[in-house]
Amino acid sequence: MQETIVKVGGMSCQGCVKNITGVLEKLPGVSAVAVSLEAGEARVSHDPAQSDVAALKAAIEDAGFDAA
């Protein structure tokens, strides 16, 4: 497993946090997700062979947020 931190822009409430958490948890190979509104980031434990960093960022962007 690998832990990746993705900066997330555009979050304004706990609903945003739940939305991003749900989207990331659905990706293959993701075992844990912790999204912080205060820090503006998502910490994701995942198998990079199943979901790489680009896939994580794409899922966040598809949900309507900015990922860096």
pLDDT tens column, 54-63:
999 999 999 9
What H or E segment, with its residue span, contains residue 21? helix 14-25
Count of domains in the chain?
A: 1
Residue 41: predicted pLDDT: 97
pLDDT at 59: 97
Say if strands 30-36 and 41-46 run parallel, antiparallel, or are unpaired. antiparallel
> SS3 of 28, please?
coil
pTM above 0.85, yes or no: yes
Torsional class of 57: left (φ above 0), alpha (ψ -120 to 50), beta (otherwise): alpha
Q: pLDDT for 2-54, tens place per residue?
A: 999 999 999 999 999 999 999 999 999 999 999 999 999 999 999 999 999 99
Residue 6: Cβ within 10 Å count: 20
Predicted pLDDT of residue 38: 95
Give the domain extent around 39: 2-67
